[in-house]
Amino acid sequence: MQVEALLKLHRHQEAHKIFQKGPSFDVDSCIRFFGPACSAYLLTIRAQVYMAAGRFEDAVAASQRAARIDSSNYEVNEIVKRAQAVALARSNGNKLFKASKLLEASTAYSEGLEHYQYSSILLCNRAACRSKLGQFEKAAEECTAALNVQPSYSKARLRRANCNAKLERWEAAIQDYEALIRETPGDKEVGEALFEARVQLKKRHGEDTKDMKFGPNMVSITGNESFRHFVTAPGMSVVLFCNKTCHKKVVLVMEQVCKGFPSVNFLKVEIEDHLYLAKSEGVSSIPAFKIYKNGSKIKDIPGNNRELLESSVKLYSR
């Protein structure tokens, strides 16, 4: 079975995706057609997928049902014990963490990891304890271990980025923040952290940062180089193509919208000065908005429809 093979290779994210796409099975029907041993086996696979995904209570329920069907099976009973131990460890750890008992919480998560060392949830939770204790190096390592198991785990990536920022590893922090801003361009926390990391890296290189500013602002494009810099950068850019004398109202619309999205780039291209940009970007009429995300054009908005502009920015910046 492909899911079981992926679990053994610790490719948990792939296993979970394939499991979700696969057909669901009714346990009672499965017992009638294939017998109790096969049904218990399928339930243990389900329990392991749930455990890998951090759905520990569901893992306990699936494994216990497998044990009721095939109570003499040693492997089934071992999975029940593992699922129960991991679920209890997370529950205890979370209670201790909320009570600010960080060392005790870290110990509780460690106990769970003794039973299931590839739990990205427990690794990330233990990283949270270590980060709050100022152990940023160890916390970053835990997050990396969690991401090795579950590459799309955004919480672990953000936590690692923050730890690397605390350690002044600006390049590593920027790499993670950029990956996160690609997923959610409108995230103010990530956008601000990415901006600060870039400022610090420039300072380390002796570059001038006095003109750098984070927050709602509209940039007037001065040429092809600056245009490409913004629209190909990680995250999202909203570009207004307009006439400098005839479209003052639509410029005001854009200025109002940009206040709600400080992590999104808002650019203004005055076509009198940059006709070649309008042509290269397929602008057939003005005013017109175009939305770019991670270097690709994803939406055209004609005219000065503020509602459509605002709803589109909100949709694509998630």
| The domain boundary residue, chosen from 89, 122, 140 | 89
What does the mean pLDDT of the chain come to? 86
Residue with token string 């919208």: 257
DSSP code per residue over 174-207: HHHHHHHHHH-TT-HHHHHHHHHHHHHHHHHTT-
144 vs 49, higher pLDDT: 144
Predicted pLDDT of residue 19: 65
How many angstroms separate the most distant Cα atoms in the chain? 83
Least confident of 7-16, 47-56, 231-240, 304-313: 7-16
| The domain boundary residue, chosen from 161, 187, 214 | 214
Residue 71: inside a domain, yes or no?
A: yes
Calculate ∠ Cα 45-20-127, nearest 5°: 75
Residue 219, class by beta-carbon neighbours within 10 Å (0-12 exposed, 13-18 middle, 19+ buried)? Answer: middle
Residue 66: inside a domain, yes or no?
A: yes
For 140, phi and psi rounded to 5 degrees?
-65, -40
pLDDT (average), residues 41-51: 84
Closest CA to 118 of 16, 42, 41, 7: 7
pLDDT (average), residues 8-25: 67
Predicted pLDDT of residue 277: 92
Give the separation between CA 169 and CA 56, rounded to whole angstroms.
34
Residue 183: inside a domain, yes or no?
A: yes
pLDDT (average), residues 134-153: 95
Give the separation between CA 236 and CA 34, rounded to whole angstroms.
52
Cβ contact 225:274 at 8 Å? no
Predicted pLDDT of residue 184: 82
Predicted pLDDT of residue 251: 83
Residue 60: inside a domain, yes or no?
A: yes
Residue 20 has pLDDT above 70, yes or no: no
DSSP structure class, residue 167: T
Predicted pLDDT of residue 250: 84
Residue 106: inside a domain, yes or no?
A: no
Would you place residue 40 in the very low, low, confident or very high pLDDT band (cuts 50, 70, 90)?
A: confident
Cβ contact 129:109 at 8 Å? yes
Residue 107: inside a domain, yes or no?
A: no
Residue 167: inside a domain, yes or no?
A: yes
| The domain boundary residue, chosen from 182, 214, 246 | 214
CATH classification at residue 231 = 3.40.30.10
Cβ contact 135:143 at 8 Å? no
Residue 101: inside a domain, yes or no?
A: no
158 vs 27, higher pLDDT: 158
Predicted pLDDT of residue 254: 84
Domain count for the chain, please give it.
3
Q: What is the pLDDT of residues 54-113, one digit of tens each?
A: 889 999 998 998 888 888 888 889 999 999 999 999 999 999 999 999 999 999 999 999
Q: What is the pLDDT of residues 162-171, one digit of tens each?
A: 999 999 999 9
Q: What is the pLDDT of residues 207-231, one digit of tens each?
A: 877 766 666 668 889 899 989 988 9
Residue span of the structural domain in which 49 resides = 2-89
Would you place residue 14 in the very low, low, confident or very high pLDDT band (cuts 50, 70, 90)?
A: confident
Are residues 207 and 225 both part of a single domain? Answer: no
Predicted pLDDT of residue 133: 97
Are residues 230 and 307 both part of a single domain? Answer: yes
Are residues 229 and 158 both part of a single domain? Answer: no
Q: What is the pLDDT of residues 177-207, one digit of tens each?
A: 988 987 887 788 888 898 899 889 888 988 8
Are residues 268 and 198 both part of a single domain? Answer: no
Are residues 134 and 206 both part of a single domain? Answer: yes
Are residues 74 and 152 both part of a single domain? Answer: no
Residue 308 has pLDDT above 80, yes or no: yes
Residue 23 has pLDDT above 60, yes or no: no
Residue 264 has pLDDT above 60, yes or no: yes
Residue 126 has pLDDT above 90, yes or no: yes
